[in-house]
Structure 1
Amino acid sequence: MTTTALAQDRSSSVSLSSRLETDRILFVVGAWALALVWLLPLLYAVWTAVHPSAYETRFDLLAPLTLDNFVQAWNAAPFARYFLNTILLVTMILVAQLVLCTLAGFAFARLEFPGKNFLFTLVLLQLLVMPDILIVRNYATMSALGLVDTILAIGLPYFASGFAIFLLRQTFKTIPKELDEAARIEGCSLLGLMWRVYVPLAKPTMLAFGLVSVSHHWNNFIWPLIITSSAETRPLTVGLSIFATTDSGVQWSIINAATLITSGPLLIGFLLFQRQFVQSFMRAGIK
């Protein structure tokens, strides 16, 4: 009986190991399949951007390489101004969001005041509202303030974020209250408590949200297109749209070169700091 039981246990262990190995292989194959789905459009964009237009639709290993498409794309639009506008825009929005949402998240997590739960419910309901629904009202507000066709008008509707408030509130609630008492004994004020205790412990969450915010507003198109009308205030995504309205026909090599110029900083940043990106999301608990 003992020998039979050992044989059965060994057979069960081998079977379990075999199933685990099969699952691992399936996961790896699935990961490669998803990677290829994501990479193929990018590879096509790179291929057409570094080759003459004659090779847009045919593959030839001996095709000549060229950077003329990038030069033509850069000269076709004031990309230097677009880059400056975009960097100013995403920096302005991120700083405003981190300041305002940190204060709000701390208040919802640690302070007691009338209507606290009701106000937090309103914050959560804001997550259900699509930003495009508010375009008409936001435009009317910016017009009344005299801010149409300014960088401030692009960013002002996004200075507060329900998503950031929710994330920071949840992070602050996980911090032990004993730290509050220790800081108060040392004579720390309420703002000092938030800045010296809560903000350092919430840095992974802030970094994770910062990545989401910068990526979203770097790629935002509809609202900047509506609220701006001059190259002096337009960001990269709106500037890229001029390549779709040319009279010389669609030149995919130049369009893809312009697209790589626009999305290149985000791609390079992710490739350089992907480990920090993933770790920050894991620590922040973002699924």
Structure 2
Amino acid sequence: MDTALNTLGAWLLALLWVLPLAYAVWSAIHPTAYSARFELLAPLTLENFGAAWAAAPFPRYFLNTFVLVGSILAGQLVLCTLAAYAFARFRFPGRDLAFALVLVQLMVMPDVVLVENYRSMHALGLVDTLGAMALPYVASAFGIFLLRQTFKTVPTELEEAARIEGCGSFGVLWRVYVPLAKPVYLAYALVSVSHHWNNFLWPLVVSNSVETRPLTVGLSVFAGTDQGIDWAIINAATLISSAPLLVAFLLFQRQFVQSFLRAGIR
């Protein structure tokens, strides 16, 4: 009985995810007149993708998004690794209080600090730059917590053996802890890239020009025109922007799932 309920629940969740995607694909490969109705013999077309690509500077949007997501992930991996290692293996005054403050960050919605983040970026002269979009996210409370819990499971005997071989603190971290946490790093990287690839509100607030807009903000140019909303072109643009993530998942889905299972994220 439990297996049947779990299977039913999995199918329902799959349908909730697949149906909007299926509609987007249907609308994008058919003329606008068929975007709101289903006809089995409706004519197919790829013109919507061409129109969407021509309506916005997608190469620039893709470049900005790759730079933004990559810089955020790089910063998170470095800072979260160092912080997690300190919390897991070092003893220093105020350690438990500092870690409690990190956990509090998990309970605070990013929208709550939106105004203060904008004021900080304005004071630093970073408004309308990729740096302003990335800076508030280069440290992650979730990443620190996840890596700290992982590092605490590493036997201390391995660290002691590394120190006997002459490794210092950074050597132990690089040669012992980081290799053992590779599945966790991969799982976290997937979460981070997916989240910041799709992030919309903060980039919208802090960007003012085409030169700095990522894909999510760039798609807003399709929201409406004097002639109304063209759902076929909007869905084509949405598929173009989400294609890299979809292709990456389809190609590496086995590695993705295994990394989450090994990291204990279920």
Query: Structure 2-normalised TM-score?
Result: 0.97
**AA at the equivalent of 1:53:** T
1:75 has 2:22 as partner: no
Deviations 1:220-254 (A, max 9, x none): 00000010000100000000011113222011100
Instruction: Check conservation: 2:224, 2:230, Cα contact below 8 A.
Output: no
1:104 has 2:120 as partner: no
Shift of 1:128: 0.8
Deviations 1:44-68 (A, max 9, x none): 1100100111111222222221111
Gap change, CA 1:24 and 1:120, over 3 Å in 2: closer
1:173 to 152, 167, 178: 152
Mapping 1:106-255, distance limit 5 Å: 106-255=85-234
1:48 has 2:27 as partner: yes
Quote the Cα distance in structure 2 between the aligned partners of 1:247 and 1:23.
Answer: 53
Quote the Cα distance in structure 2 between the aligned partners of 1:135 and 1:30.
Answer: 36
Quote the Cα distance in structure 1 between the aligned partners of 2:86 and 2:3.
Answer: 45
Partner of 1:269: 248
**AA at the equivalent of 2:112:** I
Report runs of 4+ in structure 1 exceeding 2 Å deviation. Answer: 22-34
Instruction: Give the secondary structure class of the aligned counterpart of 2:211.
Output: coil
Per mean C-alpha deviation after superposition, the further-off stretch among 174-183 and 276-285 is 276-285
RMSD of Structure 2 on Structure 1 (CA): 1.1
1:88 has 2:67 as partner: yes
Gap change, CA 1:78 and 1:26, over 3 Å in 2: same
Quote the Cα distance in structure 2 between the aligned partners of 1:30 and 1:123.
Answer: 34
Name stretches of at least 5 consecutive residues in structure 2 with no aligned partner. none
How many equivalent pairs are there? 266
Instruction: Give the secondary structure class of the aligned counterpart of 1:241.
Output: helix
Deviations 1:12-35 (A, max 9, x none): xxxxxxxxxx54444334332332
Per mean C-alpha deviation after superposition, the further-off stretch among 52-61 and 116-125 is 52-61
Partner of 2:14: 35
Quote the Cα distance in structure 1 between the aligned partners of 2:118 and 2:7.
Answer: 48
* Identity between Structure 1 and Structure 2 (%): 69
**AA at the equivalent of 2:253:** Q
Structure whose CA Rg is larger? 1
